[in-house]
Amino acid sequence: MRKISGALWIAVLGVLPFEASMFAAPPGAPPAPLGIVMAAENAHEGVDATFSGATIYDGDRLVTRDDGTMRIRLGAGQIFLHQSTSTQVHAIANGFSADLDAGTVSISSPEGQTFELFADGATIRPASSQPTLAKITKISPTELVLTSTRGPLEITMGDEVKTVEAGSSYKMEVESEEAASDPQQRQVPHPTARNRFYLVAITAVAVVTGIVIWRALVSPVAP
């Protein structure tokens, strides 16, 4: 009986890898597209995505030159890259995320959808389920300019949470906890350090520009 049981176990163990391989993803299967390029001028992604209709995948890096722009549709949302901008996009539940490395993006989501934008250690997302449009500019590793044209924005960093209401524009300043206690020790915040941020209201002139971008992002596109 022991010899039979041992033989059976050998047979089972030999079959398991084969059965598991039947349920595994086929090797070399192409990833699911995340979105498409709707319009591009002097822009590139990866090797070449300078033309409308190019496919965008999870993890792709999108870059515009000094005189370039790029408009991307990611599911139901969109992102518009202004000049001299670099960002990396990913898929998330019910929307998409973007890491802003440099430059300016206008980013939108329709009702019931969302987005997450990461910059300078902060996470920026819609504060409600209503349609949202935001314009974010990365000035430096410690400064952002945030404009909400439609829908409130929620900004989080660590356990700090603040809201930017629709129709307002703020400059966001980040500093380390050490700098807050001693201004002489001001330094670039470290990702693993305890940092804090401040919102300083600025002129709403940028909101007018945001409205123009919003209209472009929600306008129908010819097939």
| pLDDT, tens digit, 9 for 90 and up, residues 5-31 | 554 444 433 444 434 444 444 556 667
Place of tokens 């097939």: 223
3-state secondary structure of 89: strand
User: What would the mean pLDDT of 121-132 be, rounded to a whole number?
Assistant: 94
Tokens of 69: 């722009």
pLDDT of residue 220: 44
Q: Is the pTM of this model over 0.95?
A: no
pLDDT of residue 212: 45
pLDDT of residue 39: 87
User: What would the mean pLDDT of 51-62 be, rounded to a whole number?
Assistant: 85
pLDDT at 49 over 60: no
Residues 119 and 128 sit within 8 Å (Cβ to Cβ): no
* Euclidean distance between CA atoms 198 and 186, whole angstroms: 15
Residues 68 and 86 sit within 8 Å (Cβ to Cβ): no
Residue 77: band (very low, low, confident or very high) from pLDDT cuts 50, 70, 90: very high
Higher pLDDT, 93 or 183: 93
Q: Which of 189, 123, 116 is CA-nearest to residue 156?
A: 123
User: Does the domain formed by 33-218 have CATH 2.60.120.1440?
Assistant: yes
In the chain, domain spans: 33-218
| pLDDT, tens digit, 9 for 90 and up, residues 144-200 | 999 999 999 999 998 899 999 998 999 999 886 655 445 554 454 444 446 788 888
Higher pLDDT, 127 or 28: 127
pLDDT of residue 84: 93
Mean residue pLDDT of the chain comes to 76
| Strand 77-81 to 33-45 pairing | unpaired
Q: Which H or E element spans position 200?
A: strand 195-201
Q: Which of 119, 132, 101, 110 is CA-nearest to residue 210?
A: 132
Q: Which of 77, 150, 83 is CA-nearest to residue 117?
A: 77
Half-sphere exposure of 42 (CA within 13 A, CB side): 9
Q: How many residues are recorded in the chain? A: 223
Q: 3-state SS string over 101-157?
A: EEEEEEEEECCCCEEEEEECCEEEEECCCCCEEEEEEEEECCEEEEEEEECCEEEEE
Residue 32: band (very low, low, confident or very high) from pLDDT cuts 50, 70, 90: confident
Question: What sign has the CA pseudo-torsion 76, 77, 83, 86?
Answer: negative
Residues 207 and 147 sit within 8 Å (Cβ to Cβ): yes
User: What would the mean pLDDT of 19-47 be, rounded to a whole number?
Assistant: 65
pLDDT of residue 9: 41
| pLDDT, tens digit, 9 for 90 and up, residues 101-112 | 999 999 999 999
3-state secondary structure of 191: coil
